[in-house]
Amino acid sequence: MAYNSGFPMTYQPMYPQYIPASFQPQMTQQQSQMTQQNDNGILWVQGEAGAKSWAVAPGKSVMLMDSESSTFYIKSSDNSGMPMPLRIFDYKERTEQVVQSPAIQHQEIDTSKFVTWDDLDKRLNELLKQREVSDDGKSVV
């Protein structure tokens, strides 16, 4: 006959069972890098070799900052998981914000060819005088 201690048959002990360290899975270098990057949101790699070895999920892109130089990398993979060529960029700090206006060269306008209001008024008076003369029956020049 089975011995019953008064507890249900599905009773679980209160304390978790001890698992020796030798049975716990070891974190890979890639997993440790991923846990480190979650702290500040920036993915850091050591040189171009570190960027090339970074694993990217299919159809995704990541920006990787180089911890050894002023360089960042964009690594992508297509939908099937094949890595795209690594794109490498250099950057520098912008110390002053200098606003440069576009280099538009204004040409000097020759105003000697334009008619002034006075010249226009003189010409209009001349035409009106000629019309008055032509209306009187005299010849028009």
Burial class (CB in 10 A: 0-12, 13-18, 19+), 1: exposed
The pLDDT score that the predictor gives to residue 26 is 60
The pLDDT score that the predictor gives to residue 35 is 46
The pLDDT score that the predictor gives to residue 37 is 47
Cα(87)–Cα(52) distance, integer angstroms: 10
The pLDDT score that the predictor gives to residue 5 is 65
pLDDT tens figures, 12-60: 666 666 666 565 556 555 555 554 444 567 899 999 999 999 999 999 9
Residue-range domain boundaries for the chain = 26-90
